[in-house]
Amino acid sequence: MEKFKYNITNLFLDLLYPENNCCMICGYWDEKIGKDYICRECFLKIENIKGHRCKVCSKPLVSSGDVCLECIEEPKVFKKLFAPYQYSGILSKTIKDYKYNNKAYYYKMLGELLYKYIKGKCIDVDIITYVPLHKNKKRKRGYNQSELLAKYLGDKLNIPCEKLIDRVVDTKAQNQLNREDRKNNLKNTFQYKKDLQDKNILLVDDVYTTGTTLNECSKALLKAHANNIYGLTLGR
C-alpha cells in the first residue's frame, strides 16, 4: 500500500510539473534528473574551465602570471569573474537557443547549473543583479535571459535580486563589433538606479566574451558607490 501511495504522488507531480525528470536538451526522461533538467550525458558534454586562470576574469593562462593581458590592457573594475564552463560545444548551442530561439524555460536548467557552482564559493553578496537589456530589445525577445538567471539564483540563495542598472541607449549587438568598437558602443549606455553604499553586488550575465559589457555595468555600479562587484556567467 505504501508503494502504491508513493506512485500516485509521483504521478500527480508528473502531471503538475511535466518538465521534472526530463532533460531539456535531449528530452531523455529519468527519475534521477529531478529538477536539474539536464541528463548526465548532456551534463558531461559541458566542458569545465580547468587549470591556471586569470585571477580577475578567469581566462585560462598559459604563462605563470596572475592576470591576463586583456585585463592588463583594459583593467576591470569588478573584483572577480566567476565562470564555470567553456563557452563552446553543447553549452554555446544551448545558450544561443535560450536567447534567440524562444527557449526561455531553459533558465531553470541553466540557473540550476549556476546555483550548484556558486553556492560553495565564499563570497559575501548583498544584492544579485543582472546585465539589463534595452526596453526595445526586451520587448522584442520577450524576456531578459540574464534577469531570469539572476532571479532564479536570488530565490535559491535567498538573496534579494533587483534591477540596479538601466540600459538607456539601444546599442548595436556587441558580437558584431571588434574590441575597440565594443567599448565605444557601450559608453554611457548604463546608468545606475539607486545608491549602493557599501553593498556587495553579484552581477549576472549569460556569457563573458571580451568583458566590456560586464565592465561597463560594473562602472555604473561603482558610480552608485557599490563596494565589491563580482561577475557571474555560465561560460567564457
Find the shortest distance in angstroms from Cβ 195 to Zn ion. 29
- Would you call 217 exposed, middle or buried from its count of C-beta atoms within 10 A (0-12, 13-18, 19+)? buried
Q: Site for Zn ion (CB under 5 A): which residue of 22, 36, 37, 59?
A: 59
Query: Taking contact as CB under 5 A, which single stretch among the options 54-62, 91-99, 138-146, 219-227 is the one that binds Zn ion?
Result: 54-62
| Angle, alpha carbons 230-59-119 (nearest 5°) | 40
Find the shortest distance in angstroms from Cβ 61 to Zn ion. 8
Find the shortest distance in angstroms from Cβ 38 to Zn ion. 6
Chain centre to alpha carbon of residue 215: 15
Q: Which CB atom, from 23 or from 125, has the smaller least distance to Zn ion?
A: 23
Q: Site for Zn ion (CB under 5 A): which residue of 14, 19, 20, 28?
A: 28
- How many residues lie near Zn ion (CB under 5 A)? 12
**Is 22 a binder of Zn ion (CB under 5 A)?**
no
Q: How far apart are CA 182 and CA 223, in angstroms?
A: 21
Region 60-119 residues binding Zn ion, contact defined as CB under 5 A = 68, 71
Q: Site for Zn ion (CB under 5 A): which residue of 21, 22, 25, 150?
A: 25
Find the shortest distance in angstroms from Cβ 67 to Zn ion. 6
Q: Which three cell numbers stand for residue 96?
A: 544561443
Q: How far apart are CA 150 and CA 18, in angstroms?
A: 24
Backbone angles phi, psi at 231, to 5 degrees: -95, 150
Find the shortest distance in angstroms from Cβ 110 to Zn ion. 14
**Is 42 a binder of Zn ion (CB under 5 A)?**
yes
User: b/e for 134-169, b at 16 or more Cβ within 10 A?
Assistant: beeeeeeeeebbbbbbbbbbbeeeeeebbebbebee
Q: Site for Zn ion (CB under 5 A): which residue of 8, 11, 13, 26?
A: 26
Q: Site for Zn ion (CB under 5 A): which residue of 33, 57, 150, 232?
A: 57
Cβ-Cβ contacts under 8 Å for 205 (sequence gap 6 or more): 130, 131, 146, 213, 214, 231, 232, 233
Please give the residue ranges that form the binding site for Zn ion (CB under 5 A). Answer: 23, 25-26, 28, 39, 42, 54, 56-57, 59, 68, 71
